[in-house]
Amino acid sequence: MLIEFIVLIWYTLSVGIVCYQESKVGWPRVPYRKLIPFIWYHMVLSTIQLLYVIPLWCVMSRVTHRRFVWNQVAWNFGTLLPIWWGPIKWKGLEYVEAPRQAIWVGNHQSVLDTAIMTLLPCQTDMVGTSKDSIKYLPGGGLMALLCGTILVKRDSPTIIHDFHRECMESLSEGVSLNIFPQGTRRHISSGVLPLKRGAFHIAHEMNVPLQPYTIVYNIGRDIVVTIHPPVEVVGRGIDDTLDDVGRIFS
């Protein structure tokens, strides 16, 4: 009974922390009646998935198990998002018809953006990025680690160096990355935060195009994800590509 009680407290605190963080984002109205069950069921489903994911992960190659776990996380979110937030409507799919390595950059508004990230129609394997605290989320935290998510340790004095190195290593393996260049969440009605230059530096160093996308949450109706034309980096300056993405997000 003690273990069950501790687990229940862990799950409950995790939901509470997510809701508290979301309340500071700037949403005009945080729909807790949707957010609470969404996070709860995600954690429960992730915990159940770990029962078969961990044994299979142990016998797979690094590339194979990263792809396998990513697909499991995508299935998790792909099942839960339509139930609580409505169907996802995709626009601009013609820009990603062929396999091409890229750094996907999205406008960061909500914890839900991480769920959308796993469902992006990227034609190559993808590695996500997230703040370090996600690893403490029951079920979902371990799933994120198992699929190779690059964690941003915000309290680390070497945060920029570590993040840059891990992103470069992942790109050298031929995968795509997802980075939210705003660095933190802010609802679209509150304006777009200044974009950090890290993703753009990495794109230029590796000669990898940027693939911008924007998310609009029509609470109670649907989620609209628009994929914009890729932003090429070859022969251009960092400020130019940053301005191009900034105009798309504004």
Residues 44, 69 contacting (CB under 8 angstroms): no
pLDDT band at 240 (very low <50, low <70, confident <90, very high): very high
This prediction's pTM: 0.91
Do 55 and 49 meet the contact criterion of CB atoms below 8 Å apart? no
Please state the rounded mean pLDDT for residues 89-109: 93
Q: Exposure string (b/e) for 21-30, b if CB count within 10 Å is 16 or more?
A: ebeebbbeeb
The answer to whether the CB of 205 falls within 8 A of the CB of 99 is no
pLDDT tens-place string over residues 219-229: 878 999 999 99
Segment 150-176, tens digit of pLDDT? 988 766 666 778 888 999 999 999 999
Q: How confident is the model at residue 65 (pLDDT cuts 50, 70, 90)?
A: confident
List the one residue out of 181, 188, 64, 9 whose CA is nearest residue 1: 9
Q: Which residue has the higher pLDDT, 205 or 23?
A: 205
For residue 213, give the H/E element and its range.
strand 210-218
Q: Please give the pLDDT value at position 193.
A: 67
The domain in which residue 211 lies consists of: 2-249
> Which DSSP symbol is given to 137?
S
**Total domains in the fold of the chain:** 1
The pLDDT assigned to 220 comes to 79
Cα separation, 148 vs 170, whole angstroms? 9
Q: Which of 150, 140, 195 is nearest to 173 (CA)?
A: 150
CATH code assigned at 61: 3.40.1130
